[in-house]
Amino acid sequence: MRESTLTQGLAELIMAKPVTAGDLEQAALLTLDALANALAGRATEPGAILLRWAGASASADAARRAFLLGALTHILETDDLHRASVVHPGCVVVPAAWAVAVREGIRGHAMLKAVLWGFEAATRIGMAVGPSHYRIWHNTATCGPYGSAMATAALLGLDFAAAVHALGNAGAQSAGLWQFLETGAMTKHLHAGRAAEAGVLAAELAHFGFTGPPAILEGVKGWFTASCPDADPEAVLRAPDDPWQLLQTSVKPWPSCRHTHPAIDAAQELRQRIVAGTIEQVEVDVYPAALEVCNRPAPQTDYEAKFSLQHCVAAALARETVDFAAFAAPARAELAELRDRVQARVADPYRSAYPRAWGSAVTVTVRGGERLTVQRSHAKGDPEAPLSPIELIAKARMLMNYGGVREPDRLIDAILALTDDAALPDLP
């Protein structure tokens, strides 16, 4: 490679990476997942606020459309997650790519290639930031702009130098803190929207010759120095011949923080082996980040419940389906007694395996003292236990129905037809 900085190396790595028909097919499925999330996000209180804002004050430019789509996509906690980077790439990359592709009249193959490029940039940088970054900074917000910039660079046909400028100025806009968790504020949705918008703006400016810092990552006054005390810079360019990182991205089957999913998965299996009403104690073994983000023994809102290991495990043990209703006020009241019996702790092997693997174990003690344990090294929806295309399409249909989409199957077919280089369909 000809790079002298990490962003130069990253741009070259991505631009040289071959794209197969299988890669495009998986990109189409993850594009469908992201767009279905955006359409479902409209049927929420934050979504209604965003739509009122869009109708009253948003300009018609692609960056602002990317902001709106990105924010909507990240509301319901059902969007994708790349484990090694702890980034939700779909809610940033797909909105940016879609908004620009619609404006430019770009067809399916180029759109899907841009999605592959964007996932690669966001997740490779996410894998380099180190665990300390994630304790304060929201990786989707901070790494996302690199992904939306690279996706937009692909769609605008930026050359190598301009793509590097786009990445530099995308990184200069990187931001997003976890403080919102203390009150359940709506800020997390803003994170995804701004990350999508920032990358579009950076790449559009680069298209006109606006320059950016090529050493934004590793420079003495760059991003790693500012916010990543235990960064692993070599991770940005490590294993360049690996499959696209989009293929290593997990798809969520349940509408809660991904850190809760291994425990939900294990608890759902346990539910089939226990008699209702006999549970006396529940122990949940997790990795540190899961406890740091999702330790909420008494959630007071739907959103807090989605970030509560205690509530999610109780729901999986007591209810046939962990769906949107499982986090609403009636369910929180119904599950309060069982939730109080759930104790979560950090334990190996899950501590040492993270972030390569997101695992958990759930142990239930039932009346009479019998203890039953189910372990998960990975959760359903991970590349090791993927949702089938049929399951993913069913999820998209459910989300679209939730969002009030008429004839969701027609829209699903049109999005999947992007693999045939079809034109982008209009979103309702």
Q: CATH number for the domain including 337? A: 3.30.1330.120
Mean pLDDT over the full length of the chain: 96
Residue 235, in any domain of the structure: yes
What's the rounded Cα separation, in Å, for the pair 195 and 199?
6
Chain position carrying tokens 């990253």: 10
Domain shared by 81 and 213, yes or no: yes
pTM of the entire structure? 0.93
- pLDDT at position 184 is 86
Range 227-247 average pLDDT: 97
Owning domain of residue 352: 258-376
pLDDT 10s digits, 38-54 = 999 999 999 999 999 99
**59 and 175 housed in the same domain:** yes
Whether residues 405 and 262 share a domain: the answer is no
Domain count, the chain: 2
Backbone angles phi, psi at 346, to 5 degrees: -85, 135
Burial of 143 (0-12, 13-18, 19+ CB in 10 A): buried
Instruction: Give domain status of residue 425, yes or no.
Output: no
Q: Beta strand pairing status for 81-82 and 249-250? A: antiparallel
Does 75 lie in the same domain as 108?
Answer: yes
Query: 357 and 220, same structural domain?
Result: no
Residues 353, 247 within the same domain: no
Considering the domain boundaries, does residue 289 fall inside one? yes
Task: Identify the pLDDT of residue 69.
Answer: 97
CATH of residue 40 = 1.10.4100.10
pLDDT digits (tens, 9 = 90+) for 297-348: 999 999 999 999 999 999 999 999 999 999 999 999 999 999 999 999 999 9
- Asked if residue 375 lies in contact with residue 266, where contact means CB atoms within 8 angstroms, the answer is yes
pLDDT in tens, 101-139: 999 999 999 999 999 999 999 999 999 999 999 999 999
User: What distance in Å separates the CA atoms of residue 376 and residue 240, rounded to the nearest whole number?
Assistant: 29
Is there a single domain that holds both residue 246 and residue 318?
no
Query: 372 pairs with which residues across the strands?
Result: 364
- The two counts, helices (H) then strands (E), for the chain are 20, 6
3 state DSSP class of 274: coil
Q: What would the pLDDT profile of 261-285 be if each residue is shown by its tens digit?
A: 999 999 999 999 999 899 999 999 9
pLDDT in tens, 150-206: 999 999 999 999 999 999 999 999 999 999 988 889 999 999 999 999 999 999 999
Query: CA angle, corner 114, sides to 117 and 100, nearest 5?
Result: 135
Contact between 44 and 133 (Cβ < 8 Å): no
